[in-house]
Structure 1
Amino acid sequence: MSPASPGRWYRTRRWMLRSAAALVVVAVALVAWDAASYDARPWLADYARIKHGMAQGYANLDWISQQRRVDLAALDRRTTQALTNAHSRVRAFFVLRDFVRAFKDPHLRFEQRQSAAPAGQVGSVVEQVANEKLAVVASCEAAGYEEGNHAFRFDFAQLPGWRQLADGPFPTGIAGDVGVLRIAQFGEDRYLASCRQVLRSGLDARALQLAVRARLQEQLRQRLAALQASGAKRLLVDVSGNGGGSEWVSDVIALMTDRRMSRAAPRLVAPACQRARVWQGHRDCPVFDLALEREELVGTGAWQGPVLILSDGGTASASEDFVAWLQQNHVATVIGERTLGAGCGYVDGGTRVSLHELPLDVVMPNCARFLEDGRNEIEGIAPDVPLEVAAEDAPAQLASLLRGRL
């Protein structure tokens, strides 16, 4: 093949430069059009919708304003002024994004517009299922199931005498008398292989979810029995990096003990008044109803013995419920780092506000969980024994702690 002629190369280069220049001109024109045609009024209307939705349906609003000292009136003034002076749709979106981010709540976020929450879908532990008939599932993939990464993140292989016993959905291993169980996700939809094992014709989404859950429970019981048969006297459950899932976590918690446990029940938004004045610094009524209830959970005792939990800053949502139940009922000792602080999350999709200027919803948690000391779980759960999980010497530190007979 003969090399391209210099003339052809220069023509190609000139064409590319002209194309790039044309793109720049188009981009500048779009920016100019955006600035020239920007109208703050519909954006302020969207902002008003967000504020109304949060005042009536955001479970953590009162806690964040009172305990984290977020000045809602000042934040509202800044946001209103910024939207008024945004001068472009792009800047207006960033203003709304910054407003949402000011609350530092992982469950308060933008999502693609959703007409309705799918029945049986949750963002955390609490679930309510609609009564309407659900469509039959064609396949696990069509139902939204994927295979998550279930592997160990922590380097347990450095523990003296470590033997890995199993991989798959729930990897296990043993070091001395400590059996290690990895639970990387508490959402059934992250276990595609298990879904395929139970899928049969005629199942709707809810029936499939329950079938997958039962299969996962069976697998967990098998793992726990195998650890005991291998000589494990203590159980370490690794939920580091586990970002949560569904209320299936309650069934998993029950496996870890034979005791009867209790904790404060999740609180749902149910204000008794219109709370628009919260954005002027007033609180005319709480975002929750006044009932303070407790819930009980009876252990099924698949494991009977000391329990340790490994948590980190990625342990969130349903995983925090796992930690809280077992720690507060003195079933488990928590090793590691403070959890993320995502808290309860969504019941039936949470509170959603659809924006008119963007194809987005603002979704916010409509339930909150509180610890025994009265703190909202969004502040994270502190470990009993601190350990920097990602530190280079973390395995050696853990080995030392385990020798200390935790």
Structure 2
Amino acid sequence: MPNLIRFTAMLKFLRRLALSVVVLLGLVVLWDVTTYDAPAWQADYRRLKTDMASGYANLDWMAQHRKLDILALDRQTTAAIDGAHSRVRAFLAIRRFIKAFKDPHFRMRVGDRPIVEAAPVVTPAEGDATEEEAFVDSPAGADCTAAGYEDANHAFVFPFARLPGWTPVRDGDFPTALIGDIGVLRIAQFGEDSYFGACEKVFKPGIGEYELKLAVRALQQEKLKQAIGELKSKGATRLLIDISGNGGGTEWVDEVIALMTDHAMSREDARMVGPVCDRSGIWRGEPVCQVLQDAPERIQLQGTGVWTGPVLVLADRGTGSASESMVAWLKLNHVATIIGERTAGAGCGYVNGGTRTQFRASPFDVMMSNCARFLDDGTNEVEGIAPDIEIPMHVEDATQQAAALAAVLAKK
């Protein structure tokens, strides 16, 4: 009987709690509906379109090459915001608008508030001040955690262990292994802030953010050189670089690319936004000037020759941004054979912070790339980079994945 009484009391409590939650949710919904300000959300949406017209590097590509009907999309979004009747539905309308572009660098995020009205919306590629005058290295913080560093997963994810002859060599930040005469090197991230242990080794009180980043980068470069050297000493004559799932990072990638050859390489430099006209008419279907500056001269990258043998690169749809730059450099200059699947299509990202729209009606910012990278055939990297040899990278059968790669390696 006492147990039955306790059970009955608990059941009554849970019913009251559930009723309270329902009432609370109802009040929240009622508040959202009664205080929704459609004109404020429309003002934010107009602000976003203005910023996109002059500061979104891929806008013209989406309209002209992907044939995205931005006029129809605009009409749908405007109508959806007007008829939203709540913040949640207005937010979802703008999110649908952004997702329609299918651009990993075009995204919403929670922004810093309050808004500094004087802050530039479109971050310029160059300023009037000299680099020395403009640059201030802000303090990194009290320790690596305060500096924003964390230890990401650096391990192999592809089922290499199922390949015949798989022999692990080292783990750590850059795991390596051997498959016969093939040395396998895993680089899971190109962002210095993904290597907490390296940060702790170089951190010192009062160090600046940029100084810390360069110190971590230098340490990681040495680790990469040591890893490659160890593979060579153990008989590797071919190098397979695994950057599957590597979503990118920083310009550090250029230094890593240079390790993989002793050749001089070149490619078209990234193109920055820089329209020479008022482009607001693009949302009315009017002819406008291009959003990007004219194509710059080709840039050069001299290999340092830490590795000089044949190179293979394993990439997949998770290989993006800075990692796609590595794929492009090595593929365009015939340094490496790319194996796997088409890359993420993140392309160029945020130079000096990129372009940002700060909403007033909600605590969200919209980030968009202010640069675009193109392959030698004129294709925007936002389309992803196709592999030279395609194999299944996302199937449930790990044995099938491993067998497909083994078949490719046997022929190379």
Same fold (TM over 0.5): yes
Match of 2:8 in 1: 10
Match of 1:123 in 2: none
1:87 and 2:88 aligned? no
1:151–1:182 CA contact under 8 A, matched in 2: yes
Query: Does residue 64 of structure 1 match 2:62?
Result: yes
- In structure 1, the residue matched to 2:226 is 222
1:259-294 Cα shifts (integer Å, max 9, x gaps): 000001001111111211111122411111224321
Give the Cα separation in 1 of the matches to 2:149 and 2:294: 38
Looking at structure 2, the residues matched to 359 and 36 of structure 1 have their Cα atoms a distance apart, in angstroms, of 19
Instruction: Map residues 245-324 of structure 1 onto 2, 5 A cutoff.
Output: 245-324=249-328
Match of 1:154 among 148, 154, 158: 158
Give the TM-score, by structure 1 length.
Answer: 0.93
**1:136 shift after superposition:** 5.0
Q: Equivalent residue for 2:51?
A: 53
Partner amino acid, structure 2, of 1:313: R
> SS state of the match for residue 348, structure 1?
helix
- 1:320-375 CA distance string (max 9 Å, x none): 00000000000000011000100011012210111011111111111110001100
Q: 3-state DSSP class of the match of 2:54?
A: helix
More displaced, 161-170 or 275-284? Answer: 275-284
Match of 2:193 in 1: 189
Q: Secondary structure at the match of 1:24?
A: helix
Q: Which residue of 1 aligns with 2:179?
A: 175
Query: Residues 133 and 250 of structure 1: is their aligned pair in 2 closer, same or farther, counting only changes over 3 Å?
Result: closer
* Aligned-partner Cα distance in 2 for 1:276–1:52: 6
> Cα deviations across residues 370-406 of structure 1 (Å, max 9, x unaligned)?
00110000100000011112343121222221121x2
1:331 is matched with 335
Per the alignment, do residues 136 and 5 of structure 1 end up closer, same or farther by CA in structure 2, a change over 3 Å counting?
closer
**Do the aligned residues in 2 keep the contact of 1:127 with 1:348 (CA within 8 Å)?**
no
> Higher mean Cα deviation, 385-394 or 254-263?
385-394
SS at match of 1:361: strand
Stretches of structure 2 lacking an aligned partner (at least 5 in a row): 117-124
Q: How far does residue 5 in structure 1 lie from its aligned partner after superposition?
A: 4.3
Of residues 397, 401, 404, the one that matches 2:408 is 401
How far off its partner does 1:114 sit? 3.2
**3-state DSSP of counterpart to 2:403:** helix
1:40 corresponds, among 35, 38, 44, to 38
Distance 2:201 2:5 in 1: 64
- The answer on whether the counterparts of 2:62 and 2:68 sit within 8 Å (CA) in structure 1 is yes
Does 1:73 find its partner at 2:63? no
Counterpart check, 1:348 vs 2:346: no
Residue type at the aligned position of 2:91: F
Residue number in structure 2 paired with 1:28: 26
Which 10-residue stretch deviates more, 386-395 or 271-280? 386-395
The structure-2 alpha-carbon separation of the partners of 1:4 and 1:371, relative to structure 1 and needing over 3 Å to count, comes to farther
Residues 49-75 of structure 1: CA deviation (Å, up to 9, x unaligned): 111111111010000011111111111
Note the C-alpha offset of 1:242. Answer: 0.4
Q: 1:158 corresponds to which letter in structure 2?
A: R
Task: Write the letter of the residue equivalent to 1:386.
Answer: E
Which one-letter code corresponds to 1:177 in the other structure? D
Q: Which residue of structure 1 aligns with residue 104 of structure 2?
A: 106
User: Are the aligned partners of 1:339 and 1:382 in contact in 2 as well (CA < 8 Å)?
Assistant: yes
Mapped pair 1:371 → 2:405? no
**2-structure distance, mates of 1:246, 1:136:** 17
State the partner residue of 2:238. 234
Per-residue displacement from partner, 1:110-136 (whole Å, max 9, x unpaired)?
11213699xxxxxxxx99985124225
Amino acid at match of 1:175: I
Q: CA RMSD in A?
A: 1.9
Rounded to whole Å, the distance in 1 between the matches of 2:405 and 2:9 is 65
d(CA) in 1 for partners of 2:140 and 2:328? 36
Q: Distance in 2 between matches of 1:343 and 1:133?
A: 27
TM superposition score normalised by structure 2: 0.92
CA distance in 2, matches of 1:352, 1:366: 9
CA contact (8 A) 1:72 1:280 kept: no
- Same amino acid, percent of matched pairs: 53
Alpha-carbon distance between aligned partners in 2 of 1:137 and 1:87, rounded to the nearest angstrom: 44
* Aligned residue pairs, count: 395
> What does 1:118-137 correspond to in 2, within 5 Å?
131-137=135-141
On the 8 A contact 1:127/1:247 being kept in 2, the answer is no
1:381 to 378, 385, 391: 385
Q: Deviations over 1:24-51 (max 9, x none)?
A: 1232233233223322100100101111
Kindly provide the amino acid, as one letter, of the partner of residue 403 in structure 2.
A
> Partners of 1:239 and 1:387 in 2: how far apart?
15
